[in-house]
């Protein structure tokens, strides 16, 4: 298996452009099948999750390719409503195909995506929303079959602002008969991007980015070309890596408005951040300050997807910090690995008590999920000595060639392939 090898102690310096958002690209690629013809999606990063979504679109009958940063999908041949269990298990985001397939073909067969390293990942809110619109749902074991003669507009209240459920219901409502209102909707920027993509194809959606989204059903959609937003979590990860290594980095092509909570926390920790349009400079000259309490919760609060990364900053801060994780029930798998590098962290239920130490030490550690892996990379950049990170396929799901991205900023990081024994 490939590994990342990092020689720590070098400050990150230089300029880097942020690639497109994985969590915008995936639902938008799924939504492309709702229009018959060729859709082009620009600024799509080269990630393993994108490759899996392309494979799923092909399995449904599309012609799909990724050249440069543009994904092209010809949806004319969509005829398959069964999503292979093998592909479902590779990527939970396959769930985004439920709304589009129900809308296009009136049927979808898929499998409970199941839990993962960070939590149970239920889909009950997705199913409740689709049922409210007239879908008939049969669950046999882990297989889920949804059928809908006709999807009808409905008043839907989400008990929790689930990102995926908001997106799936929004997509199913686009060509339903009549008006749909989603109250208690998630407010993430990726949902706004999905709304803008669908409206570019002729949908009539308003309210994405707020907790109430209204969709007026239309009869058909027209294929389009669309450019997705930059990845706010990749940007936040690089901001934290700069702070942890006491570096000075300029990030280009970002959306600062999507990062207000991360900017606020880093400034409270003593990091200097200046913004001009879509350019941000991050500079850290001193040891970070501890922060008594950080709570992850749905956007626009501090994102769960930056929780493991910010924990590395607090591991090196001056004092005690507390991080409370309220979105996923199992998102502390990185704590054991960070402790092996010398961090002083105690977990009690869904809170981590982090006592800052003067330095971390290189070790051989294992990535357990995407963002935990990113946190271990950040820790390796700051640590004294050599860090070897295993199971790095998790990291490749959300960061495009992370070793090249960081190498360009002065990091001593290499990807090693296993020695092929004859
Ligand atoms: C999206 O996942 C993101 N993934 C996640 O990013 C992100 O962490 C998450 O939103 C929260 O921001 C993509 O967009 C592809 P949720 P999603 O539905 O849609 C519970 C990354 O690192 N829930 O908002 O699955 C669920 O169990 C990934 O890029 C239900 O109970 O997140 C969880 O505890 C990780 N029932 C909470 O809600 C449901 O039907 C948040 O889940 C759905 C969700």
pLDDT in 10s for each residue of the chain, 422 residues: 899 999 999 999 999 999 999 999 999 999 999 999 999 999 999 999 999 999 999 999 999 999 999 999 999 999 999 998 888 888 888 999 999 999 999 999 999 876 677 887 789 999 999 999 999 999 998 899 999 999 999 999 999 999 999 999 999 999 999 999 999 999 999 999 999 999 999 999 999 999 999 999 999 999 999 999 999 999 999 999 999 999 999 999 999 999 999 999 999 999 999 999 999 999 999 999 999 999 999 999 999 999 999 999 999 999 999 999 999 988 999 999 999 999 999 999 999 999 999 999 999 999 999 999 999 999 999 999 999 999 999 999 999 999 999 999 999 999 998 766 65
pLDDT at site 330: 80
Q: Is 93 in the pocket of ligand 1 (CB under 6 A)?
A: yes
Q: Is 158 in the pocket of ligand 1 (CB under 6 A)?
A: no
Q: What's the rounded Cα separation, in Å, for the pair 407 and 392?
A: 16
Single pTM value for the model: 0.97
Q: Exactly one of 62, 116, 146, 283 is catalytic; which is it?
A: 116
Q: Which of 110, 132, 163 for a ligand 1 pocket mutation test, highest count of atoms within 8 Å of Cβ? A: 163
Nearest Cα residue to atom 22 of ligand 1: 305
Nearest Cα residue to atom 26 of ligand 1: 121
Contacts of 336 (CB under 8 A, 6+ apart): none
Q: Is 129 in the pocket of ligand 1 (CB under 6 A)?
A: no
Give me the DSSP letters along 265-330.
Answer: HHHHTT-EEEEETTEEEEE--SPPBP-S-EEE-STTSB-GGGHHHHHHHHHTSBSEEEEEE-S-TT
Phi, psi of 370, deg, nearest 5: -55, -55
What are the chain's domains?
3-14+288-416 (3.65.10.10), 22-227 (3.65.10.10)
Binding residues for phosphoenolpyruvate: 22-23
Q: Is 63 in the pocket of ligand 1 (CB under 6 A)?
A: no
pLDDT at site 155: 98
- Ligand 1 atom nearest to CA at 303: 12
Question: If you measure from the C-alpha of residue 399 to the centroid of ligand 1, how many angstroms do you get, rounded to a whole number?
Answer: 18
pLDDT at site 101: 97
DSSP state of 409: T
pLDDT at site 422: 54
């Amino acid at each position: 298996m490939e590994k990342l090898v990092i020689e720590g102690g070098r400050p990150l310096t230089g300029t880097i452009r942020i690639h497109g958002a994985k969590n915008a690209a995936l639902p938008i690629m799924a939504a492309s099948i709702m229009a018959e013809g060729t859709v082009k999606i620009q600024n799509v990063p080269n990630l393993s999750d994108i490759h899996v979504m392309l494979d799923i679109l092909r399995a449904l009958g599309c012609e799909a390719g990724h050249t440069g940063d543009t994904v092209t999908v010809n949806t004319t041949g969509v005829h398959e409503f069964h999503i292979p269990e093998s592909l479902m298990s590779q990527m939970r985001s396959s769930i985004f195909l439920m709304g589009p397939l129900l809308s296009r073909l009136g049927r979808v067969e898929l499998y409970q995506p199941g839990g993962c390293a960070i939590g149970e990942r239920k889909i009950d809110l997705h199913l409740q929303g689709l049922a409210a619109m007239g879908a008939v749902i049969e669950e046999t074991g882990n297989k889920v079959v949804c059928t809908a003669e006709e999807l009808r507009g409905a008043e839907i209240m989400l008990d929790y602002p689930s990102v995926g459920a908001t997106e799936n219901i929004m997509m199913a409502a686009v060509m339903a008969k009549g008006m749909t209102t989603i109250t208690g909707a998630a407010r993430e920027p990726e949902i706004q991007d999905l709304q803008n993509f669908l409206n570019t194809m002729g949908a009539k959606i308003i309210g994405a980015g707020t907790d109430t989204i209204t969709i007026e059903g239309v009869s058909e959609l027209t294929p389009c070309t669309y450019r997705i937003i930059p990845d706010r979590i990749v940007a936040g990860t690089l901001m934290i890596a700069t702070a942890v290594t006491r570096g000075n980095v300029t990030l280009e092509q970002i959306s600062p408005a999507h990062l207000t909570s991360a900017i606020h926390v880093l400034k409270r920790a003593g990091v200097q951040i200046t913004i001009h349009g879509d350019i941000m400079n991050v500079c850290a000259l001193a040891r970070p300050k501890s922060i008594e309490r950080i709570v992850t919760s749905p956007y626009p609060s501090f994102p769960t997807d930056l929780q493991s990364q910010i924990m590395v900053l607090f591991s090196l801060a001056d004092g005690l910090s507390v991080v409370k994780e309220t979105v996923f029930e199992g998102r502390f798998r990185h704590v054991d690995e960070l402790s092996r590098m010398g961090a002083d962290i105690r977990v009690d239920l869904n809170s981590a008590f982090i006592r800052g130490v003067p330095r971390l030490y290189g070790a051989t550690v294992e990535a357990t999920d995407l963002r935990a892996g990113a946190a271990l990379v950040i820790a390796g950049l700051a640590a004294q000595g050599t860090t070897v990170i295993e199971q790095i396929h998790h990291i490749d799901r959300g960061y495009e060639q992370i070793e090249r991205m960081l190498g360009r900023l002065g990091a001593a990081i290499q990807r090693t392939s296993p020695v092929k024994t004859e």
